[in-house]
Copies of this chain bind each other. A is one copy, B any other.
């Protein structure tokens, strides 16, 4: 199991939190995704044999947010 913190720009409210967490949780291999709105970040636990960082970044960007 791997853990990573991804910095994300533009998340402002509970809807944004849900959108980003939901998009990550749809990926196979994600164990947990927790957005911290105040810190502009999402903490992800994942199986690095199943999911790549680039696919996580793409999932976040597809929701309309920028990854720093």
Over the window 29-61 of chain A, the binary record of Cβ atoms lying under 8 Å from chain B Cβ atoms (1 yes, 0 no) is 000000000000000000000000000000000
Copies in the complex: 2
Using Cβ atoms and an 8 Å threshold, which residues of chain B touch A16?
Answer: 13, 15
Using Cβ atoms and an 8 Å threshold, which residues of chain B touch A64?
Answer: 14
Interface footprint category on A: under 10
Q: For residues 1 through 35 of chain A, which have their beta carbon under 8 Å from a beta carbon of chain B?
A: 10, 12-16, 19
Q: How far is the CA of A13 from the CA of B15 in the complex (A)?
A: 9
Using Cβ atoms and an 8 Å threshold, which residues of chain B touch A10?
Answer: 13
Q: Which residue of B lies closest to A15 (CB)?
A: B15
Using Cβ atoms and an 8 Å threshold, which residues of chain B touch A14?
Answer: 64
